[in-house]
Amino acid sequence: MSQATEESTPAMNTQASARIGKSKWLFRLYLPAVFKGLFNTFLHLVKAKGHKTFTIQYPEVARPVRKGYRGEHRLKKDALGREKCVACFMCQTVCPSNCIRIVAEEAPWPDRDKRPKIFEIDMLRCIYCGMCEEACPCDAIELTEKFNVVSTTRTEKIYNKEKLLSN
């Protein structure tokens, strides 16, 4: 037994050193790729130094929305502070989501017949298509740039006339 062990030891040593030699060779083969990768990373770092970064520290820094962005709605007021809306139901009729509810009442002013008693928009159903703004003949409703108004209940997202006028 001990003789066999003595005989196998040099052979095993040869195999082991061959394996080590092979792994060293593989190690040497990968080194250029590793250094190339590191060099590329370094190049990107140098290039990025003089360029504008695209990371925004939101919400401390707000990203400006693009022109024409359609966010939450606002009911506009006229020069006398009255709602411009004359309760013509055009926006409610055209709305593809059926999320506008208007109840009209007689206007107390001589220059129009009606005004909205109730004007509600279910913001959770709205798809922000802007059709209500397009259809309004009095320029009384518009979509603002507001997009980050959070709510904790569904009912909070049904905006009434007062909320829409103050938006």
* 65 is a site residue for ligand SF4 (CB under 6 A): no
Q: Which residue has the tokens 């009606």?
A: 114
Asked if 138 touches ligand SF4 (CB under 6 A), the answer is yes
Radius of gyration over every alpha carbon of the chain, rounded to an integer in angstroms? 35
**Per-residue contact flags (x/-) with ligand SF4 for residues 101 to 120, judged by CB under 6 A:** -x------------------
Taken in order 160, 162, 165, 166, the sign of the CA dihedral is negative
The distance of closest approach from Cβ of residue 130 to ligand SF4 in the complex, given in angstroms and rounded to an integer, is 5
Question: What is the C-alpha to C-alpha distance for residues 154 and 158, in angstroms, rounded to an integer?
Answer: 7
91 binds ligand SF4 (CB under 6 A): yes
Task: From residue 118, give the alpha-carbon distance in Å to each of 11, 91, 142, 147.
Answer: 95, 14, 17, 24
Among 71, 82, 101, 128, binds ligand SF4 (CB under 6 A): 128
Q: Which residues of this chain interact with ligand SF4, rule CB under 6 A? A: 85-91, 95-97, 99-100, 102, 121, 126-132, 135-136, 138, 140-141
